[in-house]
């Protein structure tokens, strides 16, 4: 598919470019903060992949290549906003303040969620593709009924746009004018299927059919993603309804640690996208335009290494849940089958010890 122009404020080489509608509102230190976010998330992600390879995680969904899309979007959110991720939104989890150890609980197999969604205003991961888009629209309809000035952002991929729930989410969001931002990361691949198997038109065009704005942003340009998302969230809070953002990016790694991308895509494509790397791009910009010293970047690398080491210790010492805990939250109110099951398993667990 032919690439169409996307909003861009930073070229792949790290040069600032002007855009007619979007200016960069961040100063050098703030941009360095975004660099730090991306570098840490990438390092944590590498550590998680290693932990999976060493048998310490059941699975991991790498985010490498999509750091700018997620950090730009995550940092554009206000603390009072609420987000609904799929399962690859580690960068959003970072921006919401969720400790990296908690991101790995689901993948370690010790939790179905991993964090308190109320505390962090970030829902637990959704594995069934597209479900969360409808849930997010419902939450946004609740915000409307509460008369609150908050927005919801939901994350999904190019593959998810083929799901009925995403289409229905667009429809509900549109007709109820819900305060929601549909943030799509088009990373070009739904496991082994290219975007051309999901759509014949650029995906952001879908919005037009529903009657709200759609925009494509260079998903590897953290400055552009930040500005585009910030405006969409502002519009949502102000009652202007939904926006569909297509962050045009690339999944540099495998779909998950169970995947083998060499079976379905060519090295040349991966090489092409390496030149658009989101982390190196902003680093080049900061060095060239703001003369930031190498020492600052080394400090971030050391900080990230330290966090990765702590993560490793935390994961290796993560206890298995108590077997009887499976009964704790199946229902909110007392349930006879749950109590029977609890007594039954208690006998077995007790007998084994």
Could you say which of 38, 63, 141, 223 contacts another protein (CB under 8 A)?
Answer: 141
Least Å from the CB of residue 241 to another protein: 15
To another protein, the closest distance from the beta carbon of 192 in angstroms equals 23
DSSP conformation letters of 212-280:
S-EEEEETT-HHHHHHHHHHHHHHHHTT---EEEEEE----S-SSTT--GGGTS-HHHHHHHHTT-HHH
Q: How far is the CB of 172 from another protein (least distance, A)?
A: 5
116 binds another protein (CB under 8 A): yes
Q: Kindly identify the residues of this chain, within the stretch 323-342, that bind another protein according to CB under 8 A.
A: 328-333, 335-337
Token digits for 316? Answer: 């290796």
Contacts 24+ apart (CB under 8 A), 26-34: 26/223, 26/226, 28/286, 28/289, 28/290, 28/292, 31/222, 31/223, 31/282, 31/285, 31/286, 31/290, 32/286, 32/292, 32/296, 33/75, 34/71, 34/72, 34/75, 34/222, 34/223, 34/226, 34/282
- Please tell me which residue in 53, 197, 264, 329 is annotated as part of the active site: 264
The residues in 174-193 that bind another protein, with binding defined as CB under 8 A, are 175
Residue 145 sits in the site that holds another protein (CB under 8 A): yes
Phi, psi of 12 (to 5 degrees): -55, -25
Which of residues 52, 66, 70, 123 is near another protein by CB under 8 A?
A: 123
Binding mask 81-100 for another protein (x = CB under 8 A): ---x----------------
Catalytic annotation present for 122: no
SS3 43: helix
Q: How many residues bind another protein (CB under 8 A)?
A: 42
* Residue 264 appears among annotated catalytic residues: yes
- Is 290 considered catalytic here? no
In the complex, the smallest distance separating the C-beta of residue 106 from another protein, rounded to whole angstroms, is 9
- 344 Cβ partners below 8 Å, 6+ apart? none
Where do we find the tokens 């495998």? 254
Does the protein bind another protein through residue 143 (CB under 8 A)?
yes
- Residue 97 or residue 113: which is nearer to another protein going by CB? 113
Sole binder of another protein in the list 9, 140, 233, 286 (CB under 8 A):
140
Marked catalytic residue, from 255, 276, 281, 285: 255
Catalytic residue annotation: 251, 255, 264
């Amino acid at each position: 598919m032919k690439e169409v122009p996307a909003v861009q404020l930073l070229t792949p080489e790290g040069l600032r470019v002007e855009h007619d509608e979007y200016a960069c509102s961040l100063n050098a230190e703030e941009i360095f903060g975004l660099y730090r976010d991306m570098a840490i998330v990438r390092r944590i992600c590498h550590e998680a992949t290693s932990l999976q390879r060493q048998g310490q995680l059941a699975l991991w969904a790498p985010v490498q290549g999509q750091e700018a899309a997620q950090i730009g979007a995550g940092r554009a959110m206000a603390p009072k906003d609420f987000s609904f991720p799929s399962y690859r939104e580690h960068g959003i989890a970072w921006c919401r303040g969720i400790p990296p150890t908690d991101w790995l609980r689901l993948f370690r197999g010790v939790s179905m969620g991993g964090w308190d969604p109320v505390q962090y205003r970030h829902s637990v991961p959704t594995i069934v593709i597209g479900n969360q888009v409808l849930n997010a629209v419902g939450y946004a309809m609740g915000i409307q009924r509460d008369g609150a000035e908050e927005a919801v952002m939901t994350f999904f991929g190019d593959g998810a746009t083929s799901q009925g729930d995403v289409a229905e989410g667009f429809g509900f969001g549109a007709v109820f004018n819900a305060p929601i931002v549909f943030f799509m990361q088009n990373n070009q691949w739904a496991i082994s299927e290219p975007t051309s198997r999901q759509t014949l038109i650029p995906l952001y065009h879908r919005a037009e059919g529903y009657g709200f704005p759609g925009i494509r942003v260079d998903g590897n340009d953290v400055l552009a993603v930040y500005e585009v998302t910030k405006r969409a969230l502002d519009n949502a809070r102000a009652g202007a309804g939904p926006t569909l953002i297509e962050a045009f990016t690339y999944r540099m790694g495998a779909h998950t640690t169970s995947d083998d991308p060499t079976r379905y895509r060519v090295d040349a494509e991966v090489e092409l996208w390496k030149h658009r790397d989101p982390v190196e791009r902003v680093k080049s910009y900061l060095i060239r335009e703001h003369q930031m010293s190498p020492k600052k970047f080394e400090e971030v690398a050391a900080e990230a290494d330290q966090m990765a080491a702590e993560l490793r210790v935390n994961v290796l010492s993560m206890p298995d849940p108590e077997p009887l805990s499976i009964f704790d939250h199946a229902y909110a109110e007392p349930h006879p089958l749950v109590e029977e099951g609890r007594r039954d398993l208690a006998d077995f667990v007790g007998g084994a010890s």
